[in-house]
Structure 1
Amino acid sequence: MSAEPTSKPKRRGRGLIWTIVAVVVLGAAAGGWWWWQAQAAQAAEEGAADAEAKPPAIYFALEPAFVVNLADPGPVRYLQADVQLMTRDPATAAALELHAPALRNHLLLLFGQQTAAQLGQRSAKERLQAQAVAEVRKVLENETAPDQVEAVFFTSLVTQ
């Protein structure tokens, strides 16, 4: 009879341990769910704040279209490009309009340095866009004008 009382407390101890483990696991799961929900809500609030804080894009078309001779050896090759500049700063938009002749000149020189083979690749066109943004900012900076230009977009780009 002495064997029975010792086996019952072990079962009771095991049951208590499993109950504690279950409570800890459920508590951790509930805490993880609460943390995940809090992070999702915070990310949504930050995304909404960023969307509200970002002013609308202002586009400035450099018209007429650019037409330049490309730097290809041999037969004459041409590039025709419609270009739009994008900013979110009204002061920069005014500076773009004011300094449009200088901007066109610098971009014409930049476009004339390209070859048809380079412009056949997407990466080269993207690199040209980045160079054009840098060129536009440089011109505006030299004129001590606001230079918050974010992008140069080619709305048409034809090589011949």
Structure 2
Amino acid sequence: PAMSAPPELSDEEQKRRFRIELEFVQCLANPWYLNYLAQQQYFQDPAFINYLKYLQYWKSPQYAKYIVYPHALHFLDLLQHPQFREHVITAERTQDIHKTQYYHWMYYRKPTTESLGEQQFPLVERAALDNNNEMRLEPNEFSSNGNDDNNQIAMQS
């Protein structure tokens, strides 16, 4: 049988859906919530993975302006990768991600041209955890060499 189009939502239903999806996306900024989702095996459910893909629309400027925690969008990107979804299942790795996030919030500041004069400094764009849970700088893309033992999970804002 042919699939029918979903029913039209009323304005009130659309607003409610917007609020629910916004709240859920912002919850993704919490590494411990990601750990909970992994522990409850949500990341094993293809329908949930499709929902995470659907939520990518929040990255467009017309929606992103409502996001209070920008890390939520970064984690939404990382959740598109099976390696990251596997990475957050352990408390130790989640703690490392949480620490990296904390230190990023604590110390990362964009220098202004006013405070620097004409001098410009490169900004750290990403800190990553290697297999020894040591922080190091990473390139701008989520990458894996295909070997699960050497997967590199990266953080960026």
Q: Which has the larger radius of gyration?
A: 1
For the criterion TM > 0.5, the same-fold answer is no
Name whichever structure is richer in strand by fraction.
1
| TM-score normalized with structure 2 length | 0.29
Name whichever structure is richer in helix by fraction.
1
